[in-house]
Amino acid sequence: MYKILKACNLASNIFLMDVEARRIAKACEPGQFVIVRIDERGERIPLTICDYDREKGTITIVVQTIGASTTRMQKLQTGDYFMDFVGPLGRPSDFVHEDIESLKGKKMLFVGGGLGTAPVYPQVKWLHEHGIDADVIIGAKTKDLVILEEEMKAVAGNLYVTTDDGSYQRAGMVTEVIKDLVNNEGRTYDVCVAIGPMIMMKFVCLLTKELGIPTIVSMNPIMVDGTGMCGACRLLVGGEVKFACVDGPEFDGHLVDFDQAMKRQNLYKTEEGRALLAEQEGSTHHGGCNNCGGDR
């Protein structure tokens, strides 16, 4: 069992938890993820590591409620336990193993879209701790969904926040900010790291390809075991089949087949939706969702 030492909401449907997991806190690096199971009946949910404290032995996760399991997870409080918490899984971000001096000569741009801000944070923090300040763009649908702004400000070089509806700071998509920085402010970047919804990563990659900025994305597809066993997380990268769990989760964004990945992501959408409905409606759920067959 893995104790939740802190649980709080960052937005109405986004929450943060510090979880005691000593082995993982000791071994993890930025870019890696964990798999979490609430209880005996829960799914195995892959979540990117948002922060870690090697001394305290804790891992920070940030979760958005999207299905039955994550809705159930949000109900957990400080002092509750996760049944299972395994990791660190996947490969660390490439820069972790790069030569620090050559890394210092690089201009890096991080783009976090929505929940994607959470996995961007430990990377920017790691760089900051190694004397490198990277520029960061945080994008969100609206003001209330901007997360980790203060934390990011403390470790980033320049921080730009943009909201789709213009309710906070800049208005528009993250791609608008990138264009603005490069075309109007004359900034140059040697590498861009974009993490967020697949559709955002796709459009960032289309833009950065045009601008000639190598771009790394973090993929979080359907997964079961997270150790290379099930193959559910397979993606096409440069025409080759890769497993996000062991070959990734970070890939060269200019080589990822996003259209195919987005189609695969829909695989369990209906079933997840079904489970969510059943959870919300409880014993009053008698079908009507066109999925569960409860009315048949």
Strand 14-20 and strand 58-64: the pairing is antiparallel
Q: Distance (Å, rounded) from C-alpha 92 to C-alpha 2?
A: 23
Nearest alpha-carbon partner for 197 in 119, 136, 108 = 119
Structural tokens at position 111? 């783009």
DSSP-based three-state secondary structure for 67? coil
> According to CB under 8 A, which residues from 106 to 165 bind another protein?
none
- The residue (of 73 and 174) whose beta carbon lies closer to another protein is 73
44 touches another protein (CB under 8 A): yes
248 touches another protein (CB under 8 A): no
Q: What's the min distance (Å) between Cβ of 127 and another protein?
A: 23
Of 77, 188, 241, 288, which one interacts with another protein (CB under 8 A)?
A: 241
Q: Distance (Å, rounded) from C-alpha 194 to C-alpha 173?
A: 13
88 touches another protein (CB under 8 A): yes
- The residue (of 38 and 138) whose beta carbon lies closer to another protein is 38
Q: Distance (Å, rounded) from C-alpha 242 to C-alpha 233?
A: 8
Measured in degrees and rounded to the nearest 5, phi and psi for residue 46 equal -80, 130
Of 13, 57, 81, 84, which one interacts with another protein (CB under 8 A)?
A: 84
- The residue (of 77 and 270) whose beta carbon lies closer to another protein is 270
266 touches another protein (CB under 8 A): yes
What value does the CA radius of gyration of the chain take, rounded to a whole number of Å?
19
- CA–CA–CA angle 196, 119, 124 (5° rounding): 115
Q: What's the min distance (Å) between Cβ of 267 and another protein?
A: 4
29 touches another protein (CB under 8 A): no
272 touches another protein (CB under 8 A): yes
Sheet holding 250-252, edge to edge: 170-171, 159-163, 135-140, 108-113, 191-195, 215-218, 250-252
Q: What's the min distance (Å) between Cβ of 243 and another protein?
A: 9
Q: Distance (Å, rounded) from C-alpha 227 to C-alpha 202?
A: 26
27 touches another protein (CB under 8 A): yes
- Kindly list the residues in this chain that would bind another protein in the complex (CB under 8 A): 23-24, 26-27, 37, 41-44, 68-69, 72, 83-89, 224-225, 227-232, 234-236, 241, 246, 260, 263-264, 266-268, 271-272, 274-275
